[in-house]
Amino acid sequence: MQKSVRYNEGHALHLALLARREGTKRGFLGKRAAEASRWHDKWFALYQNVLFYFEGEQSGRPAGMYLLEGCTCEPVPAPAPPKPGAAAAAASTRDPPDKQYYFTVVFGHEGQKPLELRCEEEHDGKEWMDAIHQASYSDILIEREVLMQKYIHLVQIVETEKIAANQLRHQLEDQDTEIERLKSEIIALNKTKERMRPYQGNQEDEDPDIKKIKKVQSFMRGWLCRRKWKTIVQDYICSPHAESMRKRNQIVFNMVEAESEYVHQLYVLVNCFLRPLRMAASSKKPPISHDDVSSIFLNSETIMFLHEIFHQGLKARLANWPTLILADLFDILLPMLNIYQEFVRNHQYSLQVLANCKQNRDFDKLLKQYEANPACEGRMLETFLTYPMFQIPRYIITLHELLAHTPHEHVERKSLEFAKSKLEELSRVMHDEVSDTENIRKNLAIERMIVEGCDILLDTSQTFIRQGAMKNSNTIIVKHEWDSKLHSDWTLLLNGPDIIYSSSENRSVWPIDVAISGGDDIRAKAQEKLEILKALSNSGGENVRSENSCLLFPFFISTSGTAPHDII
């Protein structure tokens, strides 16, 4: 069984008494009964956010109360007139429904039936609605917070005005003191002037030769002062600091010229090659596909736009010479340099795609027409694709030279050092990515050379070390019977315990073989490998032999965590 809600009845009666005396709004209202067609006139009193109603105006005990926190009040149309009958006869003695003003109080939680009220006059009903709207404790808190903010603001203004008034008062006192001091000085100067008048009269009667001597002395003092100033300027011009500043300015001027030349190169790359090839790829018989164009010129246009903005910033800085602030330009440039990573990572692949496309005669002919453009100055497309590869190292060198001639107390030294460190970090990352990409491509190329493939090479941890020829003095070689002689040219890939090599001559690629250098322990391991290969050989190991001197390119790398052996 659900328990009833308990409340302090004495406090509620006290609030009802206050509502009768000091209520925000009081008066008779019609309250709709539980039955839909009946209305009861009650005397209502609104106090704060509690609405009390009484049986009559003189009733001391409330008949009920409503908490108005979170409720809304809105007008409703008059209900339909009742059907003819007894109820209609009873209602006919009262005002018709269209002369009443109806409104409802909707409570904020579900399950609570809205309170339907009515009054005789429309303006009275609107006053009740406004009073109920304003009877919210949360609204009062918000108003209180706003008023407190205004109060704090006004208090701060008053305190500021007090401080300003005190400062003005002190200034006035200081000015009064200064005025008195100046008055005293004027009086003293006037007295001195009175005493100097006889002496000035004597100067007017001075000998003309003395005047000439004084004039010559004045000229000499001026000449000596100018010569001393000229010496100071010449000493500074010849000083190490001035020489360092001249070199620094020259580095900045050279950087602007180099940036201008680089932007021009990117402009030629985009306008003489990229955009014409895009149009050619959209023709009916395209000599190149859009994918190949994107692979060859990856991020080229974006790089051009980026450096055009950077170049404009450099020219704007030069307009304010000798005040040169460059660090903020590098702060803008550094977050955008990740597009260089994609370009550098794709560079070798773009050259391969370009080489493959050149095998198409139509494309090769079209490319030669583009390269014959006077703007290219006889340079090939590969040359323009290589220029962005050297831009980051060029920035690093420029910043290194700039920092060498920048004083330690210079305002932008820390910013330039930060930009240099970021560019060096980016350069290392780009170098590592290029090395990893080239390693994977070479591994895949060797894997395609092996007749039956090689799963070892598909592991990204395998590293391409070297390709070439070397003479070995003590090596055990496993040979197949279809190869009757040793050759000097070999391709070798190794990492870990596996060695993969192939002949460079036009024949099937050598299978995976074993080559182990001299040494007692290593010889024992080699013998184990040799016995295994003999067991696997179809001819009983007759074609497996040992050579003390042969032309081969083997060496060994130990497992991960240890250093590799020397090259044989």
Per DSSP (E only), the strands in 291-357 are none
Residue 23: C-alpha distances to residues 17, 28, 61, 135, 261 (Å) = 9, 13, 15, 11, 85
Determine the 3-state secondary structure of 298 from DSSP. Answer: coil
Provide the residue ranges of all domains of the chain, joining segments of one domain with +.
Answer: 9-135, 137-196, 210-240, 242-437, 455-551
Kindly report the backbone phi and psi dihedral angles of residue 560, in degrees, each rounded to the nearest multiple of 5, phi listed first: -60, 135
> What span, in angstroms and rounded, lies between the C-alpha atoms of 562 and 568?
18
Instruction: Write down the pLDDT at residue 270.
Output: 93
Contact 117, 31 (CB under 8 A): yes
> What span, in angstroms and rounded, lies between the C-alpha atoms of 422 and 418?
6
Instruction: Write down the pLDDT at residue 452.
Output: 65
> What span, in angstroms and rounded, lies between the C-alpha atoms of 481 and 541?
10
- Which residues make beta-bridge pairs with 382? none
Kindly report whether the peptide bond that precedes residue 322 is cis, defined as omega within 30 degrees of 0: yes
Instruction: Using DSSP bridges, classify how beta strands 515-516 and 475-478 pair: parallel, antiparallel or unpaired.
Output: antiparallel
- How many DSSP H helices and E strands does the chain contain? 16, 15
CB neighbours of 367 closer than 8 A, spacing ≥ 6? 358, 381
Instruction: Write down the pLDDT at residue 250.
Output: 85
Please choose, from the candidates 400, 496, 511, 393, the residue with its C-alpha nearest in 3D space to the C-alpha of residue 446.
511
Please choose, from the candidates 466, 465, 504, the residue with its C-alpha nearest in 3D space to the C-alpha of residue 488.
504
Domain 242-437 has CATH 3.30.450.30: no
9: left (phi over 0), alpha (psi -120 to 50) or beta: alpha
Contacts 24+ apart (CB under 8 A), 28-31: 28/57, 28/119, 29/53, 29/117, 29/118, 29/119, 29/128, 30/100, 30/117, 30/118, 30/119, 31/115, 31/116, 31/117
User: How many Cα atoms within 13 Å fall on the side-chain side of residue 408?
Assistant: 0
Instruction: Write down the pLDDT at residue 178.
Output: 94
| Residue range 9-135, CATH number | 2.30.29.30
> What span, in angstroms and rounded, lies between the C-alpha atoms of 210 and 207?
5
User: How many Cα atoms within 13 Å fall on the side-chain side of residue 12?
Assistant: 15
Whose tokens are 């955009």? That residue is 275
Classify residue 496 by its DSSP letter: T
Contact 352, 298 (CB under 8 A): no
Contact 516, 476 (CB under 8 A): yes
Please choose, from the candidates 385, 378, 236, 399, the residue with its C-alpha nearest in 3D space to the C-alpha of residue 330.
399
Instruction: Using DSSP bridges, classify how beta strands 101-106 and 25-32 pair: parallel, antiparallel or unpaired.
Output: unpaired
> What span, in angstroms and rounded, lies between the C-alpha atoms of 247 and 120?
95
pTM of the model: 0.43
DSSP codes joined into one string, 222-282 = HHHHHHHHHHHHHHHHTSHHHHHHHHHHHHHHHHHHHHHHHHHHHHHHIIIIIHHHHHHHT
- Which residues make beta-bridge pairs with 472? 550
Per-position pLDDT tens, the chain of length 568: 456 666 677 888 888 888 888 888 888 888 887 666 688 888 898 888 888 888 888 887 888 888 887 788 888 887 766 655 544 444 444 555 555 788 888 887 777 788 888 888 888 888 888 888 888 777 788 888 999 999 999 999 999 999 999 999 999 999 999 999 999 999 999 988 888 776 555 556 667 888 888 889 999 999 999 999 998 888 888 888 788 888 888 888 888 899 999 999 999 999 999 999 999 999 888 999 999 999 999 889 999 999 998 899 888 888 877 777 777 788 778 887 788 888 888 888 888 888 899 899 999 899 999 999 999 998 899 889 888 888 888 888 988 888 888 888 877 788 888 888 888 888 887 777 666 666 666 666 676 677 666 766 656 566 666 665 544 444 433 333 333 333 333 344 443 444 444 433 433 333 334 343 444 555 565 555 555 544 544 444 444 333 332 333 333 322 233 333 333 3
In degrees, to the nearest 5, what angle opens at C-alpha 327 toward C-alphas 325 and 328? Answer: 90
Q: Which two tokens stand for residue 13?
A: 């009666």
